[in-house]
Each structure stands twice: as structure tokens, then as C-alpha cells.
Amino acid sequence: MARPLVLAVCLGNICRSPTAEAALTEAAGELGVDLEVRSAGTGDWHVGRPPDARMREAAAALNLLLSGRAEQVSVAALQAADLVLAMDRSNLADLQRLAQSSGVSTDICLFREFDPEADGELDVPDPYYGGSEGFTEVVIMVRRTSRRIVELIASGELPRDPGVVR
């Protein structure tokens, strides 16, 4: 079986999705799961830039290293992925429109669908316009959820049936 590719997507690819990329990669390593992880943004404002300095600082304080450069999501990226994880409902709607208009049937869902502590709130909050505590909160939330996602991939429960629109 080919190594599964998971694509995490937020708005600008400088806060939430690069954190998810790092946390999913970390969880895959800890759990011994062979997994490729990438991230992208629905917008193009930050293409080529590193993750936000505040996000890198919050992640580093919790021993999570963020790297890479922002990319904008493409049809090719959606087609290549086995599972696409949207950070919030707005990202999900944008991804579903792109997928539907392009005939892509990759499994696209909300990242926090798999958060054991979501309690009905399925959006990962965007910390960009807030204080430092928001960045720390996102790192903790994303790390916890990433571990669960990798456990589900290891068990064969993810990705789910392609073409299912949620």
C-alpha cells in the first residue's frame, strides 16, 4: 500500500495548517505510522512565507517545530491527497467548491471532527488577530487532534469513502 498523503488546509497556511502538518508528522513518528503530510492555504496572501512567528514561538515553547513555506491549495494537491483536513467551516466550503468544480473525490472533512474534546465546536480558531494565548491553545488542540487522526489512519478508519460530502 502506498504511503497515505494527508493535506491540512487553513486560510493563509501560516498558522493552523502548518501546525497541523508538524503535529501530524510528530504523531505519525511517535506511533510508527508511515504517513506523508503537507499543508496549504485557500488564499494566496502568504505564499512563499514561513509560518507566522507567533505560531512558531508558541509551537516551539511546546517542543513542536514548524517549518516550510506557505502554499496555496490546488486541484492537483487535492487529487494527490488521500485525506484533506480543513481547519474551519469556511475552509471546508472553499475546498468542497474547488473539489466539486474539478471533479475531485478526495475525502475532505473538518480537522476537529476527530478531536476527542471538541464538544460540538468543530472549527480550529484562527489565532492570527488575537493574543499569544490563542496560538498556544491552537498548538495544544491541534496536537491532541493530530494524535487521534493518526490513530484512525493506523487502524484503517481513515481516509473514509472518497466522494462523501459532509
CATH number at residue 50: 3.40.50.2300
How confident is the model at residue 165, as a pLDDT? Answer: 42
Separation between Cα atoms, residue 24 and residue 35, nearest integer Å:
9
pTM of this structure = 0.95
Domain range spanning residue 104?
5-155
- Dihedral angle sign, alpha carbons of residues 24, 25, 28, 34: positive
Residue 162 lies in a domain: no
Q: Is residue 10 among the annotated active site residues?
A: yes
Of the residues 107, 112, 126, 143, only one is catalytic, namely: 126
Residue 160 lies in a domain: no
Residue 36 lies in a domain: yes
Residue 148 lies in a domain: yes
- With CA atoms as reference, report the closest residue to 7 among 87, 67, 124, 69: 87
Residue 37 lies in a domain: yes
Q: Is residue 94 among the annotated active site residues?
A: no
Q: How many domains does the chain have?
A: 1
Residue 145 lies in a domain: yes
- Spell out, as residue ranges, where the chain has pLDDT lower than 50: 163-166
Residue 166 lies in a domain: no
How confident is the model at residue 161, as a pLDDT? Answer: 62
pLDDT digits (tens, 9 = 90+) for 64-112: 999 999 999 999 999 999 999 999 999 999 999 999 999 999 999 999 9
Cα–Cα distances in angstroms (integers) from residue 92 to residues 8, 16, 87, 104, 144, in the given order: 11, 14, 7, 14, 20
